[in-house]
């Protein structure tokens, strides 16, 4: 089973992102379960959503406490919420930011982690560029397809098409593709550096 | 057809396939998505003929359902938590009058303190209301139970409550197999009321009944509910022949054949329990679980038969009877009367407290060694409790409990993971 936890703020499409991940996994013939962390959601308040992906029926109903991957839609949460709680070393981290892990003050935490699993993507900018709205959730899913390798970009694109239509769908697909390319380039760069060190 | 969708949406589509003629609802989270979706289907004509009635309260919702059911229309509503309590008087009237309304209860805690999260307090507060009560384990079962509920309600002329865990199921996206309209039509016959308000053939429904006949009317309500114990297994079998899957019935057992320890539970927590049981079985523990699908009428004989071979029974429930202990466990205890075995009550998951595999592993191991207290509150924070008790000892005006406890924990945003 692969477990993803998504952190963001009310209004950023956190719950939608988890649902779309589950739809993408379903489209690949897998079992998936997406659910929000329930609370009194408000615009701007910290929100968490979860997605489990497996090859067999998922019966487990507990919140995801030990995720394999974390998607952070809003980097200001780093100072407010323990977003990395339960993430094991060498888990996957994808952050919506144009900064590096060092610039975010996370350099020490992940110093000896597998660098190709630590990615950032300026999802907010991509959303503004392609969709015209500051909603980073969908581009991050494109990036996620690159980093964790559990879902294909094509499935994410298909899920976007099922959720949105017209211009919004087209914009989000373009943003997801660009995010995917950015993350993939980052990973390749990290692998290249690691090979040099070896 | 397989699809990945939200629990509420799946239930709404299943209810629509049952061709309800009147839907009345007052929105209360977490069932809102169900009636929202149905409202859209009525508006765009997908669900027709059907009248969607926006009402001013839950009391009105049930009152309208009573009226429409009495007029011979297949009637549906949904609610949760305080909404169910607010309609309570009409809930009793619906069953007392023998009107086959189907209602979803998206289970949630009851205040005070105000809490919007899942447990079974709402539905279980209405356990003696005369409604049949079914509990779903998954979204698939939730949508299947609705289809069976209309059939059952209309055959018995009694209302049926389909209970599904609020948020945990209603808001979860997962795979469901949506039936076709043709399948539902083949399974659910047209509604032929046993009593109907018809100007052409006038009758009155709702007479005042004095001591001369009140007990007999009540007895008949009981006898009629008991008929469901016979009907439900046959309806579930027929459901399987039409839809090709096991759903509903009185109870479900999992790995209980040679089990020394049997857990009893209702609703979505059964999934987590099954995962824990698989892991414990691999380590050689003889443990299984009995899921209660039908809570009212309570299947005493079936429960007894399923549990009598065990050495111990652990009832894990998301409800409590303040001043007594458990509600489900009291019912289970009745099924076991005269049998010698250890019985434990575990109150868990109240007000949305997560029930984790880790806690269940610890709990079931303790139970296996008979080291469990007769009444256990799973993952209770004793420091928090004791601090408040000391405060109450120290000061007469110790202040409101809920506010004191929140101050002690500090309010933590999105803490539940």
pLDDT, one tens digit per residue, over B159-214 is: 999 999 999 999 999 999 999 999 999 999 999 999 999 999 999 999 999 999 99
pLDDT, one tens digit per residue, over A12-43 is: 999 999 999 999 999 999 999 999 987 767 88
pLDDT score of B46 more than 90: yes
Pairing state between β A31-36 and B51-54: unpaired
The pLDDT of residue B412: 56
Contact B76, B12 (CB under 8 A): no
Closest to A43 (Cα-Cα) out of A13, A83, A21, A18: A13
pLDDT, one tens digit per residue, over A69-93 is: 999 999 999 988 899 999 999 999 9
pLDDT score of A96 more than 70: yes
- Cβ within 8 Å, pair A65-B356: yes
End-to-end CA distance of chain B: 33
pLDDT, one tens digit per residue, over B342-384 is: 999 999 999 999 999 999 999 999 999 999 999 999 999 999 9
Q: What is the number of residues in chain A? A: 198
Distance from CA of A120 to the nearest CA of B (A): 23
Chain B contact present for A40, CB below 8 A: yes
Distance from CA of B146 to the nearest CA of A (A): 21
The pLDDT of residue B351: 96
Name every chain B residue with its beta carbon within 8 A of the beta carbon of A35: 167-168, 171-173
The pLDDT of residue B204: 94
The residue with tokens 């509990």 is B135
Answer yes or no: CATH 3.40.50.920 is held by domain B251-377: yes
Chain A contact present for B309, CB below 8 A: no
Which residue range(s) make up the domain with A168?
A: 2-197
Residue A155, classed as helix, strand or coil, is helix
pLDDT, one tens digit per residue, over B8-23 is: 999 999 999 999 999 9
According to CATH, the topology of domain B2-243 is Rossmann fold (3.40.50)
- Cβ within 8 Å, pair A22-B4: yes
What pLDDT band is residue B413 in, cutting at 50, 70 and 90?
Answer: very low
pLDDT, one tens digit per residue, over B375-402 is: 999 999 999 999 999 999 999 999 999 9
What pLDDT band is residue B89 in, cutting at 50, 70 and 90?
Answer: very high
Chain A contact present for B411, CB below 8 A: no
- Cβ within 8 Å, pair B173-A40: no
- pTM value is 0.96
Contact A138, A20 (CB under 8 A): yes
Residue A24, classed as helix, strand or coil, is helix
Number of domains in chain A: 1
**Are domains B2-243 and B251-377 of this chain identical in fold?**
yes
Mean pLDDT of the B259-277 span: 98
What pLDDT band is residue B411 in, cutting at 50, 70 and 90?
Answer: low
CATH of the domain at A8: 3.40.920.10
For chain B, the structural domain boundaries read 2-243, 251-377, 389-417
Distance CA B412, CA B30 (A): 22
The pLDDT of residue A39: 72
CA distances from A71 to A106, A136, A150, B401, B410 (A): 15, 11, 14, 37, 26
The pLDDT of residue A198: 64
- Cβ within 8 Å, pair A19-B268: no
The pLDDT of residue A190: 92
Pairing state between β A69-72 and A2-9: parallel
**Mean pLDDT, rounded, of chain B:** 96
Chain B contact present for A44, CB below 8 A: no
Distance CA B271, CA B267 (A): 8
pLDDT, one tens digit per residue, over B283-312 is: 999 999 999 999 999 999 999 999 999 999
Distance CA A7, CA A10 (A): 10
pLDDT, one tens digit per residue, over A137-182 is: 999 999 999 998 899 999 999 999 999 999 999 999 999 999 999 9
Distance from CA of B30 to the nearest CA of A (A): 10
Name every chain B residue with its beta carbon within 8 A of the beta carbon of A45: 413-414
């Amino acid at each position: 089973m692969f477990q993803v936890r998504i952190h963001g703020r009310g209004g950023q499409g956190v719950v939608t992102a988890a649902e779309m991940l589950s739809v993408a996994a379903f489209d690949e013939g897998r079992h998936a379960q997406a659910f929000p962390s329930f609370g009194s959601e408000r615009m701007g308040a910290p929100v968490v959503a979860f997605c489990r992906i497996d090859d067999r029926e998922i019966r487990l109903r507990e919140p995801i406490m030990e995720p394999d991957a974390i998607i952070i839609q809003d980097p200001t949460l780093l100072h407010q919420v323990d977003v990395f709680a339960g993430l094991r070393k060498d888990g996957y981290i994808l952050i919506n930011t144009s900064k590096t892990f060092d610039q975010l003050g996370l350099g020490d935490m992940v110093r000896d982690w597998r660098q190709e699993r630590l990615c950032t993507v300026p999802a907010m900018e991509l959303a503004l560029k392609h969709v015209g709205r500051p909603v980073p959730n969908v581009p991050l899913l494109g990036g996620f397809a690159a980093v964790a390798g559990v879902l294909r970009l094509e499935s994410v694109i298909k899920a976007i098409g099922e959720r949105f239509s017209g211009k919004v769908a087209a914009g989000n697909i373009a943003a997801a593709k660009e995010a995917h390319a950015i993350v993939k380039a980052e990973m390749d760069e990290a692998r290249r550096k690691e090979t040099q060190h070896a | 057809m397989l699809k990945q969708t939200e629990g509420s949406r799946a239930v709404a589509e299943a209810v629509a396939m049952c061709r309800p003629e009147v839907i009345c609802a007052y929105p209360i989270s977490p069932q809102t998505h169900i009636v929202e979706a149905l409202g859209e289907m009525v508006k765009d004509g997908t669900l027709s003929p059907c009248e969607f009635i926006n009402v001013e309260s839950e009391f009105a919702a049930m009152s309208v359902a009573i009226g429409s059911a009495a007029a011979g229309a297949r009637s549906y509503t949904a609610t949760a938590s305080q909404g169910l309590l607010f309609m309570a008087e009409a809930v009793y009237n619906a069953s007392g009058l023998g009107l086959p309304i189907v209602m979803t209860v998206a289970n949630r805690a009851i205040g005070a303190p105000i809490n919007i999260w899942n447990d079974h307090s709402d539905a279980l507060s209405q356990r003696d209301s005369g409604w049949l009560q079914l509990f779903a384990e998954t979204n698939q079962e939730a949508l299947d139970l609705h289809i069976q509920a209309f059939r059952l309600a209309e055959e018995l002329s009694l209302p049926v409550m389909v209970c599904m865990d609020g948020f945990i199921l209603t808001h979860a996206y997962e795979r469901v197999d949506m039936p076709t309209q043709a399948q539902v039509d083949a399974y659910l016959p047209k509604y032929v009321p046993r009593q109907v308000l018809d100007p052409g053939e006038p009758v009155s429904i709702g007479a005042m009944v004095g001591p001369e006949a009140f007990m007999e009317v009540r007895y008949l309500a009981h006898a009629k509910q008991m008929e469901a114990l016979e009907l439900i297994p046959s309806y579930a079998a027929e459901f399987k022949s039409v839809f090709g899957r096991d759903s509903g019935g009185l109870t479900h057992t999992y790995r209980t054949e040679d089990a020394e320890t049997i857990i009893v539970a209702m609703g979505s927590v059964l999934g987590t329990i099954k995962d824990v049981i698989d892991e414990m079985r691999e380590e050689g523990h003889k443990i299984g679980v009995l899921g209660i699908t039908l809570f009212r009428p309570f299947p005493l004989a079936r429960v007894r038969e399923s549990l009598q071979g065990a050495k111990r029974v652990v009832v894990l429930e998301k409800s409590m009877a303040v001043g007594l202990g458990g509600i489900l466990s009291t019912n289970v205890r009745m099924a076991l009367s005269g049998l010698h075995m250890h019985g434990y009550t575990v109150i868990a998951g109240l007000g949305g407290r997560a029930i984790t595999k880790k806690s269940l592993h610890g709990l079931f191991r303790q139970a296996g060694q008979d080291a469990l207290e007769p009444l256990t509150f799973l993952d209770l924070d004793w420091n928090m409790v004791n601090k408040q008790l000391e405060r109450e000892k120290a000061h007469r005006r110790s202040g409101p409990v809920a506010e004191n406890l929140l101050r002690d924990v500090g309010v933590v945003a999105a803490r539940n993971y």
